[in-house]
Homo-oligomer: A and B are copies of this chain.
Amino acid sequence: MIKNEHQNCGVCQFAPLCIAQPDEKYKYFDSSLPIQRHISLHKGEVLFTPRTPFQSLYAIQSGSIKTTQIEDDGKEIIRNFYFTGDVFGYKALHQGMYLSTATALSESDVCEIDYRTFLSFLEKNHRLQEHAIYTACSHINATAYLHYNSAERRLAAFLLDLSNRLHPNFSKDVLYLPMSRQDIANYLKLTPETISRISTKYIQNKIIAVDKRKITLLHYERLREIAEKGRV
């Protein structure tokens, strides 16, 4: 199947910097960021592993990635989910090496951006260094809802977060989750059983509809109330 390679570049955090950006509004820049290479990943394939020296940032052109770590007690913990348009690797930038494993949750296309090249690119494009710092800062506290005090709040906030991030070109009400319940539970510091029980409760209250990994948000406002108001 032939697809438009640049169809999602408009939502990429690096769009203002990137050579692949076809939009006229970015044409005035001196030069454009050279993408080192495009990487295609099958579901389950690994992009990087812990202790690999940091060299590149990654932008997701399509698909979804999870980053995970193994705790001392042997359990896997999910650090983050990344979707179309997201740029990741900043934590490795600071540590000098990747500390987590990045695994494709679905068929994914990723742009690799060599960090040394990126820096010298910024030196030649002063107007873009601001955007680069801005992008790095967007990762701070992006997941404030993980601190919410109840399972109901965290799951509701997670669904709203996905609604905004998952399918930039599609409906915000119908989510096709690329990750398992186990992954969600892991990310929200809950158990799959708790996820399941709360989902059932939401379904009974006609807040969402669930068909396997297809989630339909039926009552957006109610979901927002649950996420924000805490224990009802």
Q: Which residues of A contact B (CB under 8 A)?
A: 71-73, 77, 79, 90-91, 93-94, 119, 122-123, 126, 129-130, 132-134, 136-141, 146-147, 149, 189, 228-230
Q: Which residue of B lies closest to A126 (CB)?
A: B123
Chain B residues within an 8 Å CB radius of A132 = 133
Q: List 11 A-B contacts (CB under 8 A).
A: A71-B228, A91-B141, A93-B133, A93-B134, A93-B137, A119-B129, A122-B129, A133-B133, A136-B136, A136-B140, A146-B147
Chain B residues within an 8 Å CB radius of A189 = 147, 149
Interface of A is mostly: helix
Chain B residues within an 8 Å CB radius of A130 = 119
**Contact of A230 (CB < 8 Å), options: B72, B94, B139, B230:** B72
Chain B residues within an 8 Å CB radius of A72 = 228-230
How near does chain B come to A19, taking the closest CB pair, in angstroms? 20
Chain B residues within an 8 Å CB radius of A146 = 147
Q: Which residue of B lies closest to A190 (CB)?
A: B149
**With A119-B129, A132-B133, A147-B189 in contact, is A140–B229 under 8 Å at CB?**
no
How near does chain B come to A141, taking the closest CB pair, in angstroms? 6
Contact, CB under 8 Å: A140 / B94: yes
Chain B residues within an 8 Å CB radius of A134 = 93-94
Contact, CB under 8 Å: A94 / B138: yes
Chain B residues within an 8 Å CB radius of A123 = 126, 129
Q: Which residue of B lies closest to A89 (CB)?
A: B137
Contact, CB under 8 Å: B94 / A137: yes
Contact, CB under 8 Å: B90 / A137: yes
Q: Which residue of B lies closest to A75 (CB)?
A: B230
Q: How far is the CA of A60 from the CA of B40 in the complex (A)?
A: 45
Q: How far is the CA of A146 from the CA of B189 in the complex (A)?
A: 11
Q: How far is the CA of A94 from the CA of B13 in the complex (A)?
A: 13
Chain B residues within an 8 Å CB radius of A228 = 71-72
How near does chain B come to A159, taking the closest CB pair, in angstroms? 18
**Contact of A140 (CB < 8 Å), options: B126, B133, B140, B147:** B140
Chain B residues within an 8 Å CB radius of A71 = 228, 230
How near does chain B come to A125, taking the closest CB pair, in angstroms? 10
